[in-house]
Amino acid sequence: MAQSTTALDAAAQATPRNQGEPTTKKPGGLVRTLIIRHYPKPFECLLEEGHPMNLKELSEKLGLSQTTVSRALNGYPEVSEETRRRVQEFARRMNYQPNSNARRLATGKSNTIGHVVPLSEHDMLNPHFTDFVAGASKVYNRRGYDMLISVVNAGTEKEVYRNLARNRRVDGVIVHGPRVKDDRVRILTDLKLPFVIHGRTNDPEDGYCWVDVNNRRAFAKATEYLIEAGHRRIALINGLEFMTFAANRREGMEKALREHGIEPDAEIMFSSDMIEPNGYGAMTDFLSHRDPPTAVLCSSILTAMGAMRAMHERGFSVGRDLSLIAYDDCLSFLPSTGDHPSMTVMRSSIRLAGELCADMLIDQIEKKPGRRNHLLEAEFVIGSSTGPVRAKATA
């Protein structure tokens, strides 16, 4: 759990204010839950005599009953407009935050969005996830929602979704890491729990809400750029290909190769978690191949860093001896471009995707009109890591 806790802490630090719940035991395995609450003003404004103001204290200061204050805050029609304005304005000034359990009982809403993250050998708690959450939390803060992150053992997701729906702990969920074969769409639809998927599955695209990048087009365009520069031996360091985004990236690359009369070579294609050591290991193997590649596509800046390390160790100059293009999620801690970008990239902000998913889900919860899907196009940025083919990359 050490790695997960670190990632969760990073997610919490990316939000304006937060308070967490401890790790708890649930049926079917360990569930770590983090609730992040958003406050529009500095946290110090919440404190009176060392603790947040509650409904009783708010009522006493207003000289009204708790029932009247609660009804005014929740917009009940039997409270006069003058009283409602007075209560709501005072609550805003005091930065009053209603008890979530009481609010859920009174309104049937929790004003909380859920993120269920499975723990497995393919841990989704990584920099991509925390940057996505940072984007989503910006919207939650603006629209008055809290965020609940449940980190669960692999295989227990279905039961967690059922518990969230049954206990009304969340008003909706954002689904992460969609797979080519993914039954979460059916489960959440049957539960009537609003949801948005970050990515897509192989289900009919008009049957659910989603935000995704055109991964096929991005990798096809990058492949065509390398082919136009004379490259024919093009390698791929991909993400896990049971996930839709990685499967689509490979499809886009292979389609572009075949359209130019080049048969894809599985021996210079690699699929695994998108971390630096995997990029290094894959590129080391490719360079030892009897017919090594002259260029490589990487599904992440992280694997690209590993690939470049392998190239440098072999004495190759990136962009001159070997070309490299990476997919850039615009990770906040790892900027890849500037006035003179060092890397050619396909760029699309994962933080922006978090914002779009959050807004789309809250519109759905609040029954507001809005789009049900959003397909982003990656920006192609030419840097110094690509160039014309020179010769076969032999050490």
Mean pLDDT of the 180-197 span: 95
Q: What is the pLDDT of residues 74-123, one digit of tens each?
A: 767 788 989 988 988 888 888 776 665 556 555 667 899 999 987 765 45
**Angle (CA) 185 116 9, round 5°:** 155
pLDDT for position 392: 57
- Alpha-carbon distance of 125 to 129, in angstroms, equals 6
Ramachandran category for residue 192: left, alpha or beta (phi over 0 → left; psi -120 to 50 → alpha): left
Q: Which residue from 220, 226, 213, 291 is spatially nearest to 259, judged by alpha carbons?
A: 220
**Is the confidence at residue 393, as pLDDT, over 90?**
no
Determine the pLDDT at residue 20: 38
Read off φ and ψ for residue 274, nearest 5 degrees: -90, 80
Residue 204 pLDDT > 80, yes or no? yes
Q: How many CB atoms lie within 10 A of CB 365?
A: 17
SS3 102: helix
Distance (Å, whole) CA 244 – CA 252: 12
pLDDT of residue 331: 82
**Which range scores top for mean pLDDT: 27-36, 222-231, 327-336, 367-376?**
222-231
Q: Which band of pLDDT confidence, cut at 50, 70 and 90, is reported for residue 45? A: very low
The pLDDT of residue 339: 54
Tell me, what DSSP letter sits at residue 266? G
Strand-pair partners of 373: 210
| pLDDT value of residue 155 | 80
Residue burial 327-356, b: 16+ Cβ < 10 Å; e: rest: bbbbbeeeebbeeebebbbbbbbbbbbbbb
- Tell me whether strands 24-26 and 209-213 are parallel, antiparallel or unpaired: unpaired
Instruction: Tell me the C-alpha distance between 259 and 254, whole Å.
Output: 9
Residues 308-329: tens digit of each pLDDT: 999 999 999 999 999 999 999 8
Confidence band for 340, pLDDT divided at 50, 70 and 90: low
Percent of the chain with pLDDT over 70: 78
pLDDT of residue 298: 98
pLDDT tens digits for range 230-279: 999 999 999 999 999 999 999 999 999 999 999 999 999 999 999 999 99
The pLDDT value given to residue 202: 87
Closest listed residue to residue 138, CA positions, set 355, 326, 322: 355
Residue 12 has pLDDT above 60, yes or no: no
The more confidently predicted of residues 1 and 387 is: 387
Q: Where does the pLDDT of residue 376 fall: very low under 50, low under 70, confident under 90, or very high at 90 and above?
A: very high
- pLDDT value of residue 154: 75
**What is the rounded CA–CA span in Å between residue 112 and residue 140?**
9
Confidence at residue 69, expressed as pLDDT on a 0 to 100 scale: 86
Confidence of residue 24 (pLDDT cuts 50, 70, 90): very low
For residues 14 and 134, the answer to whether their CB atoms sit within 8 Å is: yes
pTM score: 0.76
What is the pLDDT averaged over residues 59-75?
84
- Is pLDDT above 80 for 178? yes
Please give the pLDDT value at position 94.
Answer: 80
**Predicted local confidence at residue 27, as pLDDT:** 40
Mean pLDDT of 343-360: 96
Q: Are 311 and 322 in contact (CB under 8 A)?
A: yes
Q: Which residue type occupies 202?
A: N
The structure tokens 């360079």 sit at 287
How many angstroms separate the CA atoms of 207 and 197, rounded? 11
57 has a pLDDT exceeding 70? yes
Helix, strand, coil in percent for the chain, rounding step 5: 40, 20, 40
Cα–Cα–Cα angle for 385, 132, 309, rounded to 5 degrees = 30
**pLDDT for the residue numbered 4:** 34
Please provide the average confidence, as pLDDT, over all residues in the chain: 83
pLDDT category, 222, cuts 50, 70, 90?
Answer: very high
